């Protein structure tokens, strides 16, 4: 498997293991995912009110849960800002 | 130490910039190289020039003929969705769900 394929696999399996195979992440599952997996690059990941706020922003269909697609928009957003902050300082990261 | 998910995002960024020369965007040739080298297991049609054109057209939402990182993320999202669906089908087949 290539680096990129392994990265995609991680994105998918992180969601699946946090949702325990269900289609959506509930409040608890989402808080756990954010605090465990995104604590290094996002702020306030241990604050349940901040994470709840984030969840509300992602929850496009307002069902109180985070679907796989809604999770992917978070990943996309975080990856974009990460890329922008990296390119600002050193374009030759690799 | 970065988490697995953070590491995955780092490596997506690295892969993109490995192919996007100094201008920071992928032209058609660079996208083809990326698909040939980095998605050789996921995309069987990656050497089909028509498939590259189609993916290029789908990704290039602002129509400038190049794929920037934001547009590249849509490819990652699309592949993740496909990957997740395969996984669910696999689970159903093996009867674990």
Dihedrals φ, ψ of A46, to 5°? Answer: -95, -5
For chain A, what are the domain ranges?
A: 19-80
Q: DSSP letter string over A17-82?
A: HHHTT-SEE-HHHHHHHHHHHSTTTSS-TT-HHHHHHHHHHH-TT-SSSEEHHHHHHHHHHHHHHH
| pLDDT, tens digit, 9 for 90 and up, residues B31-77 | 999 999 999 888 776 567 788 889 999 999 999 999 999 999 999 99
Question: According to the 3-state scheme, what is the secondary structure of chain B?
Answer: CCCHHHHHHHHHHHHHHHHCCCCCCECHHHHHHHHHHHCCCCCCCCCCHHHHHHHHHHHCCCCCCCECHHHHHHHHHHHHHHHHHHHHHHHHHHCCC
Per-residue pLDDT band for A90 (boundaries 50, 70, 90) equals very low
Put simply, the answer to whether B13 touches A86 (Cβ < 8 Å) is yes
The residue among A73 and B88 whose pLDDT is bigger is: A73
Interatomic CA distance for residues B43 and B79, integer angstroms = 9
Residue B43 dihedral angles phi and psi, to the nearest 5°: -115, 110
Predicted pLDDT at A93:
42
> Is A11's CB within 8 Å of B76's CB?
yes
User: Can you give the pLDDT at residue A15?
Assistant: 96
Rg (CA), chain B: 15
The confidence score (pLDDT) of residue B40 equals 86
CATH topology of domain A19-80: Recoverin; domain 1 (1.10.238)
pLDDT given for residue A34 in this prediction = 97
Residue A88: the pLDDT is: 63
Inter-chain touch A12–B70, beta carbons under 8 Å = no
- Most B CBs within 10 A among A83, A87, A90, hence the mutation to make, goes to A83
Average pLDDT value over all residues in chain B: 89
A83 vs chain B: nearest CA distance in angstroms?
Answer: 6
The number of distinct structural domains making up chain B is: 1
Confidence (pLDDT) at B94: 82
Closest chain B residue to the Cα of A67, Cα to Cα:
B81
- Domain of B10, CATH number, reads 1.10.238.10
* Reported ipTM exceeds the 0.90 cut: no
Nearest to B39 among A4, A36, A86 (CB): A4
* A16, B87 contact by CB (below 8 A): yes
pLDDT in the model for residue B45:
61
Full domain range(s) for residue B9: 4-94
Distance CA A74, CA A30 (A): 11
Query: With an 8 Å Cβ cutoff, is B15 touching chain A?
Result: yes
| Predicted local distance difference test score (pLDDT) of residue A91 | 45
Using an 8 Å CB-CB cutoff, list residues of chain A that contact chain B: 1-12, 14-16, 21, 33, 36-41, 68-69, 72-73, 75-76, 78-80, 82-83, 86-87, 91-94
User: In Å, how far from its chain's centre is CA A41?
Assistant: 10
Residue among A15, A38, A83 whose CB faces B6 most closely: A38
């Amino acid at each position: 498997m290539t680096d990129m394929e392994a990265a995609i696999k991680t994105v998918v399996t992180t969601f699946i293991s946090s949702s325990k195979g269900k289609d959506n992440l509930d409040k608890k599952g989402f808080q756990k995912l954010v605090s465990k997996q995104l604590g290094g690059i996002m702020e306030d990941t241990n604050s349940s009110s901040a994470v709840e706020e984030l969840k509300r922003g992602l929850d496009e269909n307002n069902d109180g849960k985070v679907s796989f697609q809604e999770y992917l928009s978070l990943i996309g957003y975080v990856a974009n800002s990460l890329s922008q902050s990296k390119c600002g300082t050193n374009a030759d990261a690799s | 130490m970065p988490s697995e998910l953070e590491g995955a995002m780092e490596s997506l960024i690295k892969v993109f910039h490995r192919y996007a020369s100094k201008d920071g965007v992928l032209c058609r040739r660079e996208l083809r190289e990326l698909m040939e080298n980095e998605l050789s297991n996921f995309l069987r049609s990656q050497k089909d020039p028509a498939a590259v054109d189609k993916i290029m057209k789908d990704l290039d939402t602002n129509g400038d003929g190049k794929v920037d990182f934001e547009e590249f993320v849509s490819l990652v999202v699309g592949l993740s969705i496909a990957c997740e669906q395969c996984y669910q089908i696999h689970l159903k087949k093996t009867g674990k769900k």
